[in-house]
Amino acid sequence: MLENKETRTELESLGEFALIKHLTKGFETKNKSTGYGIGDDAAVLDSNGKQVLVSTDLLVENVHFNLMYAPLKHLGYKAIVVNLSDILAMNGTPEQVTVSIAVSSRFSVEALEELYEGMEAACKTYNIDLVGGDTTSSQSGLMISVTAIGYADSDKITYRNNAQENDLVFVSGDLGSAYIGLQLLEREKQVFEAAPTAQPDLDGHDYALERQLKPECRADIVRLLAEVGVVPTSMIDVSDGLASEILHICNSSGVGCTIYENKIPIDSTTVNTCLDFNIAPSIAALSGGEDYELLFTIKQTDYKKLENNPLVTPIGHIVDKATGVNLHSESGVVTPITAQGWDGLSNKK
């Protein structure tokens, strides 16, 4: 945990409501739909005739993040972004968030200021309003709960359960880098624990580290789809690995899928680092998670609208349920895809 050791204000000196006011005083209201924000028992939102989308996530210290290597400002930014990604995965536009935190006495006001600076930066980047939340004490470190609220026209909302046979499977960006960033951080953590004077060896890994510590969500993809006139038949964000997410779509839609290993987009520096860790790059993409890219299916008639667009990549197609969900390797071997990504209730690390 990083903070200025020269100045420390104890949380109890402010109290709950003064602390909320102190941490959120820099947030500005930017959207007309924010009828009333922070300051009452509930936020009043005007849906403007659109559907309201609400999603929430909980981040728990030593389960979802480790403060030994996760700067508080980065953590605050990430906490907002990962929730906005859920709204985008519904083909919606996020506009508001609420933030609740539970903190132990080892955290000072200055530490929480750093956390909220990251949240504010994310809100500014994505034009989001912080409209409320809660604070309480914790006996087990830091917990962050964020609820995201978004809007979409009823005919544009995209669910997981409408993928159809012969649809094409696309993914935005590249996959696996966030997982490799985590492996790098965990490696250096182990080195530090064994030799506290050792200097971290992270040179040349900026991309993977940023993907892990300060990810971005793909609001640009939702805008792209609207601009070219494509409404996906299904969509989900890649938070738990490509394998888990394509299985979610197939199970919800009652279909099968064929994914081609050589089509999965993976950053070249990530490929090289995977080899250093003796990890197959496709395994990092399939099972790693935390990429927050968008995985979606479209009708074949919409293919020309996205053909050769550098922001998205076609990686497979939907087949009948009986065929199953399979990976076609570069060598031609067909292997059933199984979910081995992140499970928040698993005891496995």
pLDDT of residue 219: 97
Calculate mean pLDDT across residues 289-298. Answer: 96
Q: Residue 312: phi, psi to the nearest 5? A: -135, 155
**Tokens encoding 332:** 């031609």
pLDDT of residue 349: 41
Please report which confidence band the pLDDT of residue 47 belongs to, taking 50, 70 and 90 as the band edges. Answer: confident
pLDDT of residue 232: 97
pLDDT of residue 16: 67
Question: Which domains, and CATH codes, for the chain?
Answer: 16-152 (3.30.1330.10), 168-336 (3.90.650.10)
What average pLDDT does the structure give for the chain?
90
Please report which confidence band the pLDDT of residue 38 belongs to, taking 50, 70 and 90 as the band edges. Answer: confident
Amino acid identity of 237? D
pLDDT digits (tens, 9 = 90+) for 68-120: 999 999 999 999 999 999 999 999 999 999 999 999 999 999 999 999 999 99
Give the best-scoring range by mean pLDDT among 17-31, 32-46, 145-159, 287-301.
287-301
pTM: 0.88
**Tokens encoding 222:** 């939702």
Flag whether pLDDT at 164 surpasses 90: yes
Flag whether pLDDT at 337 surpasses 60: yes
d(CA 100, CA 133): 5
Whether residue 76 contacts residue 155, with contact meaning beta carbons closer than 8 Å, is answered with: no
Flag whether pLDDT at 4 surpasses 60: no
Calculate mean pLDDT across residues 246-257. Answer: 95
